[in-house]
Amino acid sequence: MSQVKLTKGAAPDTPSSGIMTLYVKSDSTLAYKDDDGIEHVVTDISTLTTHTGTSDAHHAKYTDAEAKAAAVNNSITDGNTDTAPSEDAVHDALAGKSDTSHSHSKSDVGLGNVPNEDATNPANMDQAGATDGQALVWNNSASQWEPGNVSASSDLSEIIQPSVISPSDGATDIGEVPDIVLSTYYGLYSKTQKAIQIQISDTSGDFSSPVVDSTETSATDTVTVTPGNLSTSTTYYVRGRYQEDVNDVWSEWSGENSFTTADMFNPMLTVSNLGPGPSSDSLITYDDTTDIGYYGYVGCGNEPTYSSGTTYSSGDIVNDGSDEFYYSKTDSNTGNALPSVGGENTNWKWIGNGILTDGPTISSGIGLSAGTAFNDDCGWLKFFIGENAATPMSTRHGTVTAENRVVFISRKTIRNDLSWNDIYNAGAVYGTGDAGTANSGSDVTQDAQVTIDGNDYLVRLMTGCQGDPASEAYANQQCSDDEGGGSEWNDLFYRVHEDVPTCSDTTVGMPGGDDTTRHGGPQDEANWENFSNVDLQVYYSDAGDGTYCWQQEQGNDTSRRVYRGSVGVADFLAPTADYTTTAHGFRPVLELIQS
């Protein structure tokens, strides 16, 4: 839509005020509404539109010889007011917008009559490739006037028609929850974006019954398809559009892109409720060999916000201000730009997004007051455990009945100086809704739960041993015994630590020694992440208090309980259940309850 003042060569039915609004209708005709809101069809101007190429190519527009007196009010003036600019303002704004073929000069015809003498002279129309009656559009990128092209509009031509950027046309092997990305929003008259809408159909050209019709009221160019809408091995067609926030006008629909889904979807994204944190197919990692996966880091809400003036050290985690989290890879890291989401550079690496909660909130929520709270600025590591994951992960967990589960494991221990019995007495060892496999001397129902942002979570300890009780006697665990095999500690936690425990060199993952008597077994698959001892609160000499991390299981002597991590990530030991020092720590697992 353009506000124009016609002082010469005006179209018929010009309202007495001299101001009218031109717009392109769905049948490609031009119309305007007068002061009373009555619509009139414009018959003397057959073409007037914005340039739909580059986003900065829609500036001043001038019509043919019959209406070249129309001064179009848009971004050639400061403020983009609703009245036509003065003759001087228009001329001054256009003074630098000329090329070798065209120039602009002031006219004495009257307000707003600032013709491009070469391009708008009917005798010279061929210089711009335009025909009589066609609009000329200033292409700022190409620094030249170009003929405008009429295209149908749902109502008013106020927003540049977007295109679908992703998935690209003809893309294959697309997952169940793809990100649909449109080209950047651009509206006339500084009108900002109000909403985005995408539709997906299984029939080309027919969106009357779309399989996905999603509108988000936010200034974004991306809509993520929710699980359960797309089928495998199917070709779909997607289109999108934007809405502006002044008159709630929608742009034209984009053209459609086709894409074909994969033969199998990532099961990490088929869980009905994923909770907070990374959920894009391109940002997560699934291991189909073990049926487990890693989503990424989820914040606690207390991480510092990145500042270019702050010096960061290796291991520091910052929030970019929009709940995207980045890990400092270097010391003396000052003024270095953060990479894009999912990326990394020399100094920073993206590690995750979203907010869950902090340690004090969990402890308070389950009534656990024993010990000392610390590490209240550490977030969570989000994992997927599939129905075919190894035992005990697939069997020894809480009352969540879903075959595929999402768990959040605290990146560090959040309390120290407490015993296994203290955690059991808070109902936070097993999450099974009964008294569990062992007790603290008397039975306590293991049903600790918290509710965060509308999601319910079981609160429990990690599994750290293959059996319950353990098969080997106290301090008699060799790597080859694989005492921790199939546990969450070995199959999840190992894979985000920079060490890769192996029986061919048992010192790896055991910097504190005891690698021949306290080893929890080898790592089976490749790493997803490479956090350090300090990052994960393991190995007492590096990370200090809370590095003896209590697990669910009993030792071979059932008066004992397993802990992991004191002399390294591969460490395995089982002290008595009532043993308490500042070295002993509570690292909760939040298991998302599926609705």
Average pLDDT value for the chain: 79
Asked whether the CA dihedral 233, 239, 245, 249 is positive or negative, the reply is negative
> Reading across the β-sheet that carries 61-62, which strands appear in turn?
61-62, 136-139, 144-147
The token pair at 46 is 């057959």
Collapsing DSSP to helix, strand or coil, 452 comes out as strand
Indicate whether 172 pLDDT > 70.
yes
Indicate whether 588 pLDDT > 60.
yes
More confidently predicted of 129 and 400: 400
pLDDT tens by residue, 529-573? 999 999 999 999 999 999 999 999 999 999 999 999 999 999 999
pLDDT band at 93 (very low <50, low <70, confident <90, very high): very low
pLDDT band at 465 (very low <50, low <70, confident <90, very high): very high
pLDDT tens by residue, 382-436? 999 998 898 887 776 666 666 789 999 999 999 999 999 999 999 999 999 999 9
How many CB atoms are located within 10 Å of the residue 507 CB?
15
In DSSP terms, 198 is beta-bridged to 214, 240
Res 39: pLDDT: 65
Indicate whether 182 pLDDT > 90.
yes
The token pair at 373 is 């709270």
pLDDT tens by residue, 190-238? 678 999 999 999 999 999 999 999 999 999 999 989 888 999 999 999 9
Q: Chain-centre distance of CA 23, in angstroms?
A: 36
pLDDT band at 187 (very low <50, low <70, confident <90, very high): confident
pLDDT band at 32 (very low <50, low <70, confident <90, very high): low
Which of 282-291, 339-348, 513-522 is predicted with the least confidence, judged by mean pLDDT?
Answer: 282-291
Q: How far apart are CA 180 and CA 9, in angstroms?
A: 46
* Nearest in space to 256 (alpha carbons), one of 303, 201, 316: 201
Q: How far apart are CA 12 and CA 41, in angstroms?
A: 9
Res 30: pLDDT: 53
Burial of 322 (0-12, 13-18, 19+ CB in 10 A): exposed
Give CA separation, 524 vs 35, 83, 287, 495, 501, in Å. Answer: 75, 71, 12, 9, 9
More confidently predicted of 509 and 18: 509
Which are the contacts of 477, defined by CB distance < 8 A and separation ≥ 6? 470, 483, 517, 518, 519, 520, 572, 573
Q: How far apart are CA 439 and CA 557, in angstroms?
A: 14
Give CA separation, 190 vs 15, 74, 97, 233, 244, in Å. Answer: 26, 9, 21, 43, 10
Res 400: pLDDT: 64
In DSSP terms, 305 is beta-bridged to 319
pLDDT band at 188 (very low <50, low <70, confident <90, very high): low
3-state secondary structure string, 6-61? CCCCCCCCCCCCCEEEEEECCCCCEEEECCCCCEEECCCCCCCCCCCCCCCCCCCE
pLDDT tens by residue, 341-384? 999 999 999 999 999 999 999 999 999 999 999 999 999 999 99
Collapsing DSSP to helix, strand or coil, 176 comes out as coil
Bridge-based pairing state of the strands 257-261 and 348-355: unpaired
Indicate whether 2 pLDDT > 80.
no
Average pLDDT over residues 135-149: 45
* Nearest in space to 89 (alpha carbons), one of 65, 68, 114: 114
Average pLDDT over residues 443-462: 97
The token pair at 586 is 């509570």
| Cis status of the peptide bond prior to 115, with omega within 30 of 0 | no
Which are the contacts of 530, defined by CB distance < 8 A and separation ≥ 6? 496, 497, 498
What is the percent of the chain with per-residue pLDDT over 70, rounded to a whole number? Answer: 72
Res 551: pLDDT: 97
Rg (alpha carbons) of the chain, rounded to whole number: 32
Indicate whether 287 pLDDT > 60.
yes
* 574, 575, 577, 581 alpha-carbon torsion, rounded to 10°: -130
Res 38: pLDDT: 62
Res 7: pLDDT: 26
Domains of the chain in start order, with CATH, are 1-155 (no CATH), 164-265 (2.60.40.10), 301-355 (2.10.10)
